[in-house]
Structure 1
Amino acid sequence: MTVIGAVRSIVLECRDPEPLAVFWSQVLGHEIAQRDDDWWALERPTGGPRLAFQVVEDFAPPPWPGRTGEQQIHLDVEVDDLDRGTEEVVRLGARILSDVVDEDGDPWRVFADPAGHPFCLVSFA
Protein backbone atom coordinates (compact mmCIF):
# COMPACT_ATOMS: atom_id res chain seq x y z
CA MET A 1 0.00 0.00 0.00
CA THR A 2 1.25 3.47 -0.86
CA VAL A 3 1.22 6.00 1.96
CA ILE A 4 0.46 9.50 0.79
CA GLY A 5 0.69 11.25 4.15
CA ALA A 6 -0.20 11.26 7.84
CA VAL A 7 -2.81 13.12 9.86
CA ARG A 8 -1.13 16.29 11.16
CA SER A 9 -4.12 17.88 12.92
CA ILE A 10 -7.76 17.29 13.75
CA VAL A 11 -9.29 20.76 13.50
CA LEU A 12 -12.42 21.99 15.27
CA GLU A 13 -13.98 25.17 13.94
CA CYS A 14 -15.14 27.76 16.47
CA ARG A 15 -15.68 31.48 17.06
CA ASP A 16 -12.97 31.80 19.75
CA PRO A 17 -10.13 29.26 19.82
CA GLU A 18 -8.56 30.23 23.14
CA PRO A 19 -11.21 28.96 25.60
CA LEU A 20 -11.73 25.84 23.50
CA ALA A 21 -7.98 25.10 23.47
CA VAL A 22 -7.81 25.59 27.24
CA PHE A 23 -10.84 23.30 27.78
CA TRP A 24 -9.45 20.46 25.64
CA SER A 25 -5.93 20.92 27.06
CA GLN A 26 -7.34 20.30 30.53
CA VAL A 27 -9.54 17.37 29.42
CA LEU A 28 -6.80 15.55 27.51
CA GLY A 29 -3.63 16.76 29.26
CA HIS A 30 -2.20 18.02 25.97
CA GLU A 31 0.08 21.05 25.81
CA ILE A 32 -0.88 24.27 24.04
CA ALA A 33 1.75 24.39 21.32
CA GLN A 34 0.54 27.20 19.07
CA ARG A 35 -1.40 30.40 19.75
CA ASP A 36 -2.46 32.82 17.04
CA ASP A 37 -5.44 35.12 16.62
CA ASP A 38 -7.34 32.56 14.55
CA TRP A 39 -5.59 29.23 15.26
CA TRP A 40 -4.62 27.40 18.45
CA ALA A 41 -3.17 23.89 18.54
CA LEU A 42 -2.54 21.25 21.19
CA GLU A 43 0.13 18.57 21.02
CA ARG A 44 0.30 15.29 22.91
CA PRO A 45 3.48 14.92 24.96
CA THR A 46 3.79 11.40 23.46
CA GLY A 47 3.29 12.53 19.85
CA GLY A 48 0.48 11.87 17.38
CA PRO A 49 -1.93 14.19 15.62
CA ARG A 50 -2.52 17.65 17.04
CA LEU A 51 -5.94 18.89 18.08
CA ALA A 52 -6.39 22.39 16.66
CA PHE A 53 -9.02 25.12 16.79
CA GLN A 54 -9.65 27.51 13.91
CA VAL A 55 -11.76 30.67 13.86
CA VAL A 56 -14.81 30.61 11.61
CA GLU A 57 -16.75 33.85 12.00
CA ASP A 58 -20.19 32.37 11.25
CA PHE A 59 -19.59 29.13 13.17
CA ALA A 60 -22.72 27.32 14.35
CA PRO A 61 -22.36 24.18 16.47
CA PRO A 62 -23.82 20.99 15.04
CA PRO A 63 -27.25 20.03 16.39
CA TRP A 64 -27.57 17.16 18.84
CA PRO A 65 -29.28 14.94 18.19
CA GLY A 66 -29.25 15.79 14.54
CA ARG A 67 -30.13 14.21 11.27
CA THR A 68 -27.58 11.98 9.59
CA GLY A 69 -24.79 14.09 8.13
CA GLU A 70 -25.30 17.16 10.33
CA GLN A 71 -22.79 16.23 13.00
CA GLN A 72 -20.02 15.03 10.65
CA ILE A 73 -17.33 14.39 13.33
CA HIS A 74 -16.97 14.00 17.08
CA LEU A 75 -14.30 12.83 19.54
CA ASP A 76 -14.61 9.75 21.75
CA VAL A 77 -12.59 10.09 24.97
CA GLU A 78 -11.94 6.95 27.02
CA VAL A 79 -11.93 7.47 30.79
CA ASP A 80 -11.36 5.14 33.73
CA ASP A 81 -14.51 6.26 35.56
CA LEU A 82 -17.47 7.66 33.60
CA ASP A 83 -19.04 9.48 36.56
CA ARG A 84 -15.76 11.08 37.64
CA GLY A 85 -14.97 12.03 34.04
CA THR A 86 -18.44 13.56 33.79
CA GLU A 87 -17.88 15.67 36.91
CA GLU A 88 -14.56 16.93 35.56
CA VAL A 89 -15.66 17.87 32.03
CA VAL A 90 -18.80 19.59 33.37
CA ARG A 91 -16.62 21.53 35.83
CA LEU A 92 -14.49 22.65 32.87
CA GLY A 93 -17.51 23.89 30.91
CA ALA A 94 -19.03 20.92 29.05
CA ARG A 95 -22.74 20.19 29.18
CA ILE A 96 -24.38 16.77 29.11
CA LEU A 97 -26.44 16.01 26.00
CA SER A 98 -27.43 12.35 26.56
CA ASP A 99 -26.57 8.93 27.95
CA VAL A 100 -26.13 5.95 25.63
CA VAL A 101 -25.58 2.23 26.14
CA ASP A 102 -24.10 0.54 23.08
CA GLU A 103 -24.90 -2.93 21.75
CA ASP A 104 -22.16 -4.45 23.96
CA GLY A 105 -23.68 -2.88 27.08
CA ASP A 106 -20.92 -0.27 27.45
CA PRO A 107 -22.16 3.09 28.77
CA TRP A 108 -21.33 6.30 26.89
CA ARG A 109 -22.19 9.85 27.79
CA VAL A 110 -22.52 12.54 25.12
CA PHE A 111 -21.49 16.13 25.89
CA ALA A 112 -21.09 19.46 24.14
CA ASP A 113 -17.79 21.28 24.65
CA PRO A 114 -17.90 25.03 25.39
CA ALA A 115 -18.31 25.83 21.67
CA GLY A 116 -21.05 23.20 21.20
CA HIS A 117 -19.06 20.39 19.51
CA PRO A 118 -20.42 16.99 20.56
CA PHE A 119 -18.01 14.54 22.17
CA CYS A 120 -18.39 11.31 24.12
CA LEU A 121 -16.87 9.90 27.27
CA VAL A 122 -16.77 6.12 27.48
CA SER A 123 -15.42 3.70 30.04
CA PHE A 124 -14.78 0.05 29.26
CA ALA A 125 -13.76 -0.76 32.85
Structure 2
Amino acid sequence: MTVVTAGFVVLDCSEPEKLAAFYKEFLDGEETDATANRVEIQGADGMRMAFRRDVNATPPSWPRPENSLQAHLDFHVDDLDAAERKVISLGGRALEAKDGGGPYEERGYADPSGHSFTLRKGATTAPKQG
Protein backbone atom coordinates (compact mmCIF):
# COMPACT_ATOMS: atom_id res chain seq x y z
CA MET A 1 0.00 0.00 0.00
CA THR A 2 1.37 3.39 -0.99
CA VAL A 3 1.50 5.86 1.87
CA VAL A 4 2.53 8.96 -0.09
CA THR A 5 0.22 9.80 -2.99
CA ALA A 6 1.85 13.02 -4.23
CA GLY A 7 4.99 15.07 -3.67
CA PHE A 8 5.47 18.78 -4.25
CA VAL A 9 8.24 21.31 -4.02
CA VAL A 10 6.55 24.14 -2.08
CA LEU A 11 7.79 27.72 -2.18
CA ASP A 12 6.53 30.30 0.30
CA CYS A 13 5.88 33.72 -1.20
CA SER A 14 3.70 36.78 -0.76
CA GLU A 15 1.88 36.37 -4.10
CA PRO A 16 1.43 32.68 -4.99
CA GLU A 17 -0.68 33.42 -8.08
CA LYS A 18 2.11 35.48 -9.68
CA LEU A 19 4.87 33.02 -8.79
CA ALA A 20 2.81 30.07 -10.02
CA ALA A 21 2.32 31.90 -13.34
CA PHE A 22 6.11 32.32 -13.69
CA TYR A 23 6.84 28.62 -13.14
CA LYS A 24 3.81 27.46 -15.14
CA GLU A 25 5.10 29.35 -18.18
CA PHE A 26 8.74 28.37 -17.61
CA LEU A 27 7.88 24.66 -17.26
CA ASP A 28 5.21 24.67 -20.00
CA GLY A 29 2.84 23.39 -17.35
CA GLU A 30 -0.68 23.77 -16.12
CA GLU A 31 -2.39 24.81 -12.91
CA THR A 32 -3.80 21.76 -11.15
CA ASP A 33 -5.35 23.27 -8.01
CA ALA A 34 -5.77 26.66 -6.36
CA THR A 35 -7.13 27.97 -3.09
CA ALA A 36 -6.91 31.41 -1.51
CA ASN A 37 -3.48 30.62 -0.05
CA ARG A 38 -1.97 27.95 -2.31
CA VAL A 39 -1.56 27.32 -6.04
CA GLU A 40 -0.36 24.00 -7.45
CA ILE A 41 1.08 23.39 -10.92
CA GLN A 42 2.45 20.47 -12.86
CA GLY A 43 5.15 20.99 -15.47
CA ALA A 44 5.14 19.29 -18.85
CA ASP A 45 7.78 16.85 -17.55
CA GLY A 46 5.60 15.93 -14.54
CA MET A 47 7.36 18.11 -11.94
CA ARG A 48 4.86 19.27 -9.34
CA MET A 49 5.22 22.56 -7.50
CA ALA A 50 3.06 24.51 -5.07
CA PHE A 51 3.22 28.13 -3.98
CA ARG A 52 1.98 28.99 -0.49
CA ARG A 53 0.98 32.47 0.63
CA ASP A 54 3.13 33.89 3.43
CA VAL A 55 2.56 37.62 3.85
CA ASN A 56 5.84 37.86 5.79
CA ALA A 57 7.94 36.04 3.17
CA THR A 58 11.31 37.56 2.46
CA PRO A 59 13.45 36.56 -0.53
CA PRO A 60 16.42 34.28 0.14
CA SER A 61 19.74 36.13 0.10
CA TRP A 62 21.87 33.62 -1.79
CA PRO A 63 24.48 34.01 -3.28
CA ARG A 64 25.74 36.45 -0.65
CA PRO A 65 28.68 34.70 1.07
CA GLU A 66 27.50 35.46 4.61
CA ASN A 67 24.45 33.23 4.14
CA SER A 68 24.45 29.58 3.19
CA LEU A 69 22.35 28.23 0.36
CA GLN A 70 19.63 26.30 2.16
CA ALA A 71 17.74 24.99 -0.85
CA HIS A 72 17.36 25.71 -4.53
CA LEU A 73 15.93 24.15 -7.66
CA ASP A 74 17.91 22.64 -10.55
CA PHE A 75 16.44 22.56 -14.04
CA HIS A 76 18.19 20.61 -16.79
CA VAL A 77 17.98 22.32 -20.18
CA ASP A 78 19.22 21.66 -23.71
CA ASP A 79 20.04 25.30 -24.53
CA LEU A 80 21.24 27.58 -21.72
CA ASP A 81 20.91 30.77 -23.76
CA ALA A 82 17.32 30.03 -24.84
CA ALA A 83 16.35 29.04 -21.27
CA GLU A 84 17.94 32.22 -19.92
CA ARG A 85 15.99 34.37 -22.38
CA LYS A 86 12.76 32.69 -21.24
CA VAL A 87 13.57 33.19 -17.54
CA ILE A 88 14.35 36.89 -18.06
CA SER A 89 11.26 37.43 -20.23
CA LEU A 90 9.09 35.97 -17.45
CA GLY A 91 10.54 38.29 -14.79
CA GLY A 92 13.41 36.22 -13.39
CA ARG A 93 16.93 37.61 -12.97
CA ALA A 94 20.46 36.30 -13.29
CA LEU A 95 22.44 35.69 -10.10
CA GLU A 96 25.51 34.02 -11.60
CA ALA A 97 25.79 34.40 -15.35
CA LYS A 98 29.17 32.74 -15.87
CA ASP A 99 29.34 29.14 -16.95
CA GLY A 100 31.14 26.84 -14.55
CA GLY A 101 33.79 24.41 -15.66
CA GLY A 102 33.60 20.67 -15.42
CA PRO A 103 31.16 18.21 -16.92
CA TYR A 104 28.19 20.54 -16.53
CA GLU A 105 27.57 24.10 -17.55
CA GLU A 106 25.24 25.96 -15.21
CA ARG A 107 23.95 29.42 -14.43
CA GLY A 108 22.17 30.75 -11.34
CA TYR A 109 18.92 32.73 -11.33
CA ALA A 110 16.21 34.03 -9.03
CA ASP A 111 12.49 33.84 -9.73
CA PRO A 112 10.37 37.02 -9.34
CA SER A 113 10.02 36.34 -5.57
CA GLY A 114 13.77 35.81 -5.10
CA HIS A 115 13.94 31.99 -4.82
CA SER A 116 17.15 30.73 -6.38
CA PHE A 117 17.44 28.10 -9.08
CA THR A 118 20.03 26.78 -11.46
CA LEU A 119 19.79 26.08 -15.17
CA ARG A 120 22.12 23.21 -15.94
CA LYS A 121 23.22 21.73 -19.24
CA GLY A 122 24.71 18.26 -19.15
CA ALA A 123 27.80 17.46 -21.14
CA THR A 124 27.31 15.43 -24.28
CA THR A 125 28.67 11.96 -23.64
CA ALA A 126 29.11 8.91 -25.81
CA PRO A 127 26.94 5.89 -25.05
CA LYS A 128 28.44 3.18 -22.87
CA GLN A 129 30.40 0.58 -24.77
CA GLY A 130 30.49 -3.13 -23.92
Give the TM-score range, shorter chain: 0.7 to 0.9
Task: Go from structure 1 to structure 2 and tell me whether the alpha carbon gap of 1:60 and 1:11 turns closer, same or farther (over 3 Å shift).
Answer: same
- The aligned counterpart of 1:84 is 82
Runs of 4+ in 1 over 6 A off after TM superposition: none
Aligned residues: 121
1:61 CA displacement:
1.1
Task: Go from structure 1 to structure 2 and tell me whether the alpha carbon gap of 1:71 and 1:5 turns closer, same or farther (over 3 Å shift).
Answer: same
- The C-alpha deviation readout for 1:28-85, integer Å capped at 9, x for no partner, is 11210112211000024564x5200001111011112145874321110111110111
CA RMSD of aligned residues (A): 2.2
Superposed, 1:89-108 pairs within 5 Å as 89-98=87-96, 99-102=98-101, 104-108=102-106
CA distance in 1, matches of 2:4, 2:24: 26
Higher Cα Rg, which structure: 2
Output the TM-score relative to the length of structure 1: 0.84
Task: Indicate if the aligned counterparts of 1:100 and 1:110 stay in contact, CA closer than 8 A.
Answer: no
Task: Go from structure 1 to structure 2 and tell me whether the alpha carbon gap of 1:14 and 1:26 turns closer, same or farther (over 3 Å shift).
Answer: same
The one-letter code of the counterpart of 1:31 is E
CA distance in 2, matches of 1:5, 1:35: 21
Q: Secondary structure at the match of 2:89?
A: helix
Q: Percent identity?
A: 33
Unaligned runs of 5+ residues in structure 2 are: 125-130
1:4 CA displacement:
5.7
Output the TM-score relative to the length of structure 2: 0.81
Task: Indicate if the aligned counterparts of 2:92 and 2:110 stay in contact, CA closer than 8 A.
Answer: yes
1:11 and 2:24 aligned: no
- The aligned counterpart of 2:128 is none
